[in-house]
Structure 1
Amino acid sequence: MEILSPSPPPSPRPLLRCGGRREQHHGEAWVHVAVGRSPEKTLGLLRWALRRFGCGRIALLHVHQPSPVIPTLLGKIPAAQATEELVLSHRESEKEEMNKMLHTYLAFCHRAQVQTRLLVTENDQIHYGILSLVDQYRITKLVMGSTPDNYFKLKYGKESLMASNAPAFCQIWFVWRGRHIWTREASAATDNAAPVQYRDDVITTKRIRFSSYNNNTGPVLDEGYLAREALTTVDLNQGIVSDYDRSNDYEANHFNSLSMSDWQDDTESALNSTFWSDSSVHIDTLQLYSKEVLARNARQVMMEAHRSRKEAFAELMKRKETESKAASAFAKIKDSDSAKKHEMKMREELEVVLVATRKQHEDLIKNKERAVSGLDSSKRRLAILDAHAEKIKLRIDEFSEELEVIQSSIESLCQKKLKMQNFREFTMSDMQSATCNFSESFKIWSQGRGCVYKGEIMNRTVMIYKLLCHSIESVRQFQQEVYILSKVRHPHLVTLVGACPEALCFAYEYLPNGTLHDRLFSRCNSRHLPWKIRARIVSEISDALLFLHSCKPQMIVHGNLKLENILLDTECHCKIADFGVSWLFTDDMKDYPSGGSELKGSFPYADPEYKRSKVLTPKSDVYYFGIVILQLLTGKQEPAGLAGEVRRAMSCGKLSSVLDPTAGQWSMEVAGRLAELGLRCSEDSSRDRPDLTHETVRELEQLHLMREERAPSSFLCPIMQEIMHDPQVCADGVTYEGWAIRERMETGQGTAPLNNLKLEQLNLTPNHALRFAIQDWLRHPR
């Protein structure tokens, strides 16, 4: 320790910079401590800093790192996927926790009687935030936590980045569990920092104070913290620091309080008492001396007194230095004794641990012997099981051969049964007997292409569709179409039971609920169709049309889709009739796709594109499908001008004014999506009409299952933003719709859809729990 002489105080120095401001620091620089979220580690850093620097000015430096995930009831989700309210709430809670933590550190510093500042910033990377604060506030002294491995190897950690990227003027001490690990020395000085020698002198001056004198000992040096208390006011949200002193600085150096004038006054008073005390006796003698001699004698006396004072002070300093060394020696002896006791205690503990380790080693050897014996026994059992497995495998092979024979027999029987039940060719007499010679009483309805009768064949009720003779191009073509239609099977297509080429008749299955036209517009029918059933019928029609357009090897175009050709079963599921028949008619009959002679000349229901090209295409079925959707929405029978009326209502935001009230209270979201699809499908130009795809069918299937409330966000596919039916977990941990993520992977995009990061592997895992939750949500009554 350097001992200072009672010389005059040093000349004023430049103001030190701390926290972005210039202040009078009285020669003592700020020590910045990087504090974290762990109170145990942070308080250890603060204790070490107080022991190491012994200063009364400590700045706490904290980097707030926002959490990248947000906790919810369904688990943690990325912040980008959470709602703004949820993110703000979580950020507020994070700030409250940070404030509580920082107030704990400030209270600790206040109890230690040190002046405290706080520098707070926010950054995703902690070391980048610390570097920005070091550069912004020109920090020259920084204490931060570390690990013991960093003393030997600094490659990947936060400490390595700080050591390599910190400015040259910053000196960094790395501490682990209250022990100094290593120091990154500063290689340059800042423009606003005080000279090193000046800082050391000031720190030494403020850390020395003298204790009072007593009868037995002289003045003794006492090291301790300054008697200075600072109250720090911190706004943690704004990162602004303001401070003020609760008491004025107290200079602990006893000799600084003594000035040269005091010594001169004492000396002059002594001289006066010596030379002038007896003026009445020696007045004559004193007159013999000149003023010059008296002045010279006085100066000599003053010099002698000054020299004596210096010698006394030097002797005092030597004595105090000796006492300090003696106290240090006693402290080292005490530390050595305590270290010896600690070593003996550690040795006893190590002996106990060694005994326990030996016992564990013996137990492990015994367990190993038991395990080896168990392994030998398991090997013997495994050999026996292998022999049994070989026998079982031989029996399985025998049973497999027998099973193949049985399956082939079953397949042959099934084929025979299908040939007997699925389709049959009838004679003219069968048709006449089934319909009482095509009696008018058995007729269901008439069309331009023929008539439909109800009949009984083979104890089964059927619908017999008899075509007009002049409308068929050839009987051979009729037989070819019958052969093709007999192979077509779909849940929403009327099943073809048989046909009679001689009478040009088709025999279909009979549906008791009649046609969709009768159910909507029949006056005697009091049972109205709810809007949910209508939405389901739309999805079933789209599924059947997509099946017809995808038939192999020949695509089937219905060409005459209307409400009269859509039949309902007992549960109001629809089945389309009269499909594939339009190819049989002559060109004259094709000009009337609506099938009614009463519409001849106006064609309000005919496809405008077909009127121009005379060619039936899948887009013709799309046009008729759009008209059917609009009729189901509005409940209006006449299709003429229906699309324009619905379009005007939607443009004015009054779609509910044209909806059929007999369907109940429509869901406006479902009605809006159906109306939009119906208008797109009923466009005059085929190029403006959409194609029927599997995605369109899936969307329509979801409409009648849609709730009034919106689905939870976790049920929606991040790619399609639709309810998932096959949730699959990708390598990035996010669940997607199965077909959507597979399609993305098949196109060669091996990156995550949300952040475009490279996926480690392309395997998908079914999310059964989420799929069951979605199904339960869809089945729940509204």
Structure 2
Amino acid sequence: MADQDMITYVAVGKDVKDCKSILSWAIENNVRGSRICIIHVHKPAKLFPLVRSLMTERKVRERLESGTQSMHAIMEEYFVFCQQKGVQAQTQTIEMNSIREGIVKLISKYGIRKLVIGSTSANHYKRKVEVGSKKAKYVCKTAPLSCQVQVICKGHLIFTREASATDTETGQSNLNRSRSGPSGYNNRVGSPLIECSDFPKLRSVTVGRNRSTPLAALIASFPERSKELSSPASPGDSSYSARSPTRPVEITLNGWNDRNGKALQYSCSISPPAALDYSRSSSTLDLAPSVVQQSPRLISSSSNISTSSNGAHNVVQERSLEEQLQQAMAALKKEALVRQRAEGYMIDAIRRAQDAENQRDNYIEELWISKEQETSLKSQLAELQKERDELQMERDHALKEAEGLKKKEEDSNGHMLELPEFSLSKIAEVTQGFHESQKIGQGGYGNIYIGRLQTEVAIKMLHSHGSQGSQEFQMEVNVLGQLRHPNLVKLIGSCPEAFALIYEYLPNGSLEDRLKCKDNSPPLSWQTRLRIAIELCSVLVYLHSSTRPRTIVHGDLKPANILLDSNYVCKLSDFGICRVLSRDRSSSDSVTLSHNTVPKGTLPYLDPEFLQRGVLTVKSDVYSFGIILLQLLTGKSPPYSIVDEVNSALLAGNFESLLDPSAGRWPLEVAQSLAELALMCSDNYRKRRPDLGTRVLELLESLRDPT
């Protein structure tokens, strides 16, 4: 226990930068001669059920091993920090889902007496200093009372929970009292009351260190020695330690020779109060009751021992006394062994009782915590039920509207909605004759101008030479003219004579420009990026399933074709090379009605199988979607080799270093889950890519709201 008091345990977390201040404080305020032990509760990586169901066992194992390796790297960094401070430290780790419960378990497991723990916040202005974080509060409230807990915030001590004296001293005194003999003296556990070696022929006895006395004379002097031993002595008396009833009498048995004629000596130690009673007669040697019961012949024959020197030389009496003393020693050894076992049983019983009491206190504390959690959960459940009822009403209303829209669509027999057509002169008027100042975009397809037709509009002028412009113009009119979705760019009208398309104006431009912070625009936060990913997945699910058995595949999905309105809501555009696919009854995949020998699109986002075989499917859009997810995470543009980089970083446990710092601090679990989902979508083999409508959209929604 004393050795354990010399160890200061410091609880640290994954954030090495923050926890170094806690460790530094513990080293600077450490008692000289004590040691430092770093403890850490490793929380295994949390895998969302949907992510886990999409991953192979090997990937799950690699993910968990990556977390363990990261934990070892963190502990190594703490260890090196202690070495730099000139302190040799130990480390102890445990793996649990709850960090605060893991710390309490480590305290109980290693009998920790002094713990230093960090806190995320503290209020220095209140009269009563708060502990700070929930973790620190829980440890201070739940840890055994024998453990002193010191809470550190930003390198300063803000709270100390002292160890309870009743838990440390009282328990120890009870333990010492249980080790005391029946006569009130303390005896070492495992030490017999009389220790001696087997001896042959006994002639004289040496009492203490220097006085050698014939055995008969020693027996005759027992009454006087008993008076000395039983007389009171003060602690200041020089003879106090020798006459104390708690000190055994040291006896040296000598007076016989070995075969070579060399004198032999044997020693034994007798504890008088528990073993011998010298106060009855000068001619009688009385032993303890247990010895009397085991060796009755010793008492009956002790009266025959004469105090004269003639009796000491009598060989027969000498041998009889030798045998009787041997029997007495054996009996005392047996009694000491029984007493030692009884003391061991008593100590074990005390320890079990203490453990049971501590466990009972823990159960009571857990019961109170569970009751508080139950009350909180009941209130949350009531709120959730209220929200559920409101959402139920909204869903019913939405279903009614959907049924009405479906009925209207059926009545129109799938005909394209009527879009207004504008003349070339009208378009030239609103763009100031296609003036350069009105141009807001330019590409291989043509130019984009801003104008005003009741509201601000964006006018895309496709190239009129050849059949390319005509085909793209007709495809956009056919697709966007009959589809409506909150995340589809709205087509307001067209100008067939100039191959011009008129869209709603979106002031925040394309996702590509915002990821590059073009024109010094503010960077997109990780919350906005996650919402854009959800909206993009939603509109792709709509395109892939809205016209079954036919399906629309965009075919050129990339950040440049994803526009953002004033609220950064995602709007998918540019359907010039999209394809309308039909499901082949002999295959589970959708294929084009006519195979394109020359695939179109942008290389980093182009499906490898479509590039090699010329067969376009909905899984081609899934591949492009996966690459865009990796761009939202890393901000890398163009995204060449981005799949290999992210996969290697996840396996090595340093994925956090690839995240785009301009997006703010991603929650690591959310970012890792999003990266693993993106890698599955961007798999080289289309059969291994997930379906956006069944699992991916649901998983993205759960990442936005993990609760």
Please indicate the TM-score interval, normalised by the length of the shorter structure.
0.3 to 0.5
Greater Cα radius of gyration, structure 1 or 2:
1
Higher relative contact order (CA 8 A, sep 6+): 2
Give TM-score scaled by structure 2 length. Answer: 0.38
TM-score, structure 1 normalization: 0.34
